[in-house]
Amino acid sequence: MQGKDFLCYNNAEFNPKKFSLVKECMAVLRGKTILVGVSGGIAAYKIPNLVSMLVKQHANVHVLLSRHAAEFIPPIPFEALTGNRCLVDTFERTQPPEIHHVTLAKKADLMIIAPASADIIGKLACGIADDMLTSTVLPCRCPILFAPAMNDRMYQNPIVQDNMAKLRQYGFIQIDAVTGHLACGDDGPGKMPDPEILYQYIERELAAPKDMKGLRVLVTAGATQEALDPVRYITNHSSGKMGYAIAKAAMLRGAEVVLVSGRTALKPPSFVQVEPVVSAADMFEAVTRLAPQQDIIIKAAAVADYTPAEVASEKMKKKDGELSIPLKRTQDILAWLGEHRQPGQFLCGFSMETENMLENSRKKLAKKKIDLIAANNLKVEGAGFQGDTNVLTLISEKEERPLPLMTKEQAAMALLDTILEMRE
């Protein structure tokens, strides 16, 4: 699926019968053929976990072992996980006869070599193809990732560094080794990242068409915290999940993303620049500083409208009777963006309502001088804060586009589809 066929929300009249397509898309690697090359190294023990992750996303996975890798982990676990023959020998015979290294290379949507030993890196840098793994790499025309893993002294050897640089020059994508405790007992660089990190690199390459490549996108997310004293603050129930989902979706579609985030319990998406903030004033400063460079700004954060007029320098002690806290208005970030819009810049806001959602959101759209409002009603089941789903209505000057109940990841993709359509 490419372009507008990627998700099925591009028509103003959403067809619920097509919603199954959205569910299919959320298995982000469905139908993709991924080759996993394993070279000799103790880190090979991590790769069955990676393969399991890929299979759970409905990828068609083929594992290729170097002869040395087969000394660390045998083919049987990989065959059980993938349902495919795990190949070691270039000249392994099957029925019907097949030139495996070429056939697999033609099928592949992506290849990853993990762990990538100094030996395999050196061979590939010189174009050597003397086993099943190296012989399959050379005819590949798909993205090829490699994750170096070795002793720190080997990793820092200038010959190995030159060979890695040569692979990057040839278009290979390097997944940098991390610093940690190595199998030899040393501590230093050369440790292969965990399978979750390797998976994120694969997901970035394959999970979505790169229809936002070249675009710069700013997303705000989460709640702000307005201090009363060194102990207490005023905030709201926002979890940040919607904004984080939008930032990740834009990254997967090729955009350069900056996420301005209030404090949340969420782990930031990989490959996204994160600007952490606390208060509404902090968010205003970050957004106004970054806004001029952005093509698209999506303001999904729940920013406090009011902040304490004074912040106590010491903890306020409990007293008898009532307590009154004077508040003052915070700076309106969305209104500032509308007034200072750059030429060609697209602005999208969010509107959380409990009544008169369409009327209030249309007023906000006009008042803030923006292009699109993503509105939801806190009283609608499945919408609103904290949960993993949302029910959005996308409101522009010309139309209202209601979306059904979706996961926030699906809603993020739907929102980006609409934004790209409106920018055409």
- Contacts of residue 180, Cβ cutoff 8 Å, sequence gap at least 6: 187, 191
Q: How many whole angstroms separate alpha carbon 392 and alpha carbon 139?
A: 46
Q: Which two tokens stand for residue 12?
A: 């103003």
For residue 24, the tally of other CB atoms under 10 A from its CB is: 12
Question: Are residues 35 and 51 in contact, defined by beta-carbon separation less than 8 angstroms?
Answer: no
348 is catalytic: no
Closest CA to 111 of 135, 93, 90, 80: 135
Provide the 8-state DSSP code for 263.
Answer: B
Contact 297/259 with Cβ under 8 angstroms?
no
Task: Please give the radius of gyration of the chain, using alpha carbons only, rounded to the nearest integer.
Answer: 25
Catalytic, out of 86, 126, 142, 184: 184
Tokens of 193: 């990242």
Omega cis (within 30) before 16: no
- Nearest Cα neighbor of 338 from 280, 285, 305, 299 is 299
Long-range contacts of 103-106 (CB under 8 A, 24+ apart): 104/35, 104/62, 104/64, 104/136, 105/35, 105/136, 105/137, 105/138, 105/139, 105/140, 105/141, 106/139
Give the bridge partners for 389, in sequence order. 407
Question: What DSSP element (H or E) covers 230?
Answer: none
Among candidate residues 238, 226, 186, 266, the one with its CA nearest the CA of residue 352: 238
b or e along 244-278 (b: 16 or more beta carbons within 10 Å of the residue's beta carbon)? bbbbbbbbbbbbbbbbbbbebeeebbeebeebebe
Q: Which residues are catalytic?
A: 184
